[in-house]
Structure 1
């Protein structure tokens, strides 16, 4: 059974929306987006980071953090301008737009499993459990 071209296109568009992260430079901190991108990459082979205007620098920074730590490879970068109507002035304003597509690196899974072990050990220390006889109530023994 084959899908009709329109159905295939719709399925591809829905899949693209599921792995797209639209970044704002005012709503969330930088590492929220870095961690969100890692979680999306656990479910998809590639993700798309997109932003308008002043948020472009945030998208580029997120992309570089993920690349420099070996989680992703850069697949494509597309820039464009988008015409939007300014609500306060009532006129058309052109905004810069960027879309960066990143794909998992070969070592993504091993990095994520190593990353989880570091996070889990940090949680043990924060919970106040004894780790190597040196941690009590979340504080290290400095003797």
Structure 2
């Protein structure tokens, strides 16, 4: 199976198209990207937004740069603990350095992307975390 991601700007819906070997479309799944900021909105704004989209059976991708990374981790852990979602993938990377207006080099920033899917039952999120521990 092959997954194709169509990425757009923050807060817009994207499609995940899964293909089978013959090229026939098996399923089209929508997911919502939320770019979390530590200073612009409170944590519960992003938490409620993620719950809203998980309730509509969309996958949610939480993205953060630098100091907003702990906020994304807290949101993810709350959603898993309360049975709203399960982790599908985690991707950590860095954003390349660039120069500011005065020509000084800005150091690279850490970036974290967590893709969450809707938990089918309240026990599914805890089952996923306990199965990796055994």
Q: Name the TM-score, length of structure 1 as normaliser.
A: 0.61
Distance of aligned partners of 1:89 and 1:83 in 2 relative to their CA distance in 1, 3 Å threshold: farther
Question: What is the RMSD of the two structures over their aligned residues, measured on CA atoms?
Answer: 2.5
Q: Which has the higher strand share?
A: 2
Higher helix proportion (structure 1 or 2): 1
* Residue in structure 2 matched with residue 111 of structure 1 by the alignment: none
Structure-2 separation of matches of 1:76 and 1:86: 32
Superimposed CA distance per residue, residues 14-55 of structure 1 (whole angstroms, 9 cap, x where no aligned partner): 515960000000111111110010112233431100000000
Q: Which residue of 1 aligns with 2:61?
A: 48
Equivalent runs, 1:12-27 vs 2, <5 Å: 12-14=6-8, 15=14, 19-27=32-40
Matches within 5 A, 1:42-81: 42-81=55-94
**1-structure distance, mates of 2:84, 2:33:** 17
Aligned length: 100
Unaligned runs of 5+ in 2: 9-13, 16-29, 123-134
Q: Which runs of 4+ in 1 moved over 3 A?
A: 86-90
How far off is 1:60 after superposition?
Answer: 0.3
Q: Would the aligned equivalents of 1:50 and 1:97 in 2 still touch at CA under 8 Å?
A: yes
Structure 1, unpaired ranges of 5+:
1-8, 109-143
Larger Rg belongs to = 1
C-alpha distance in structure 1 between counterparts of 2:99 and 2:64, whole Å: 17
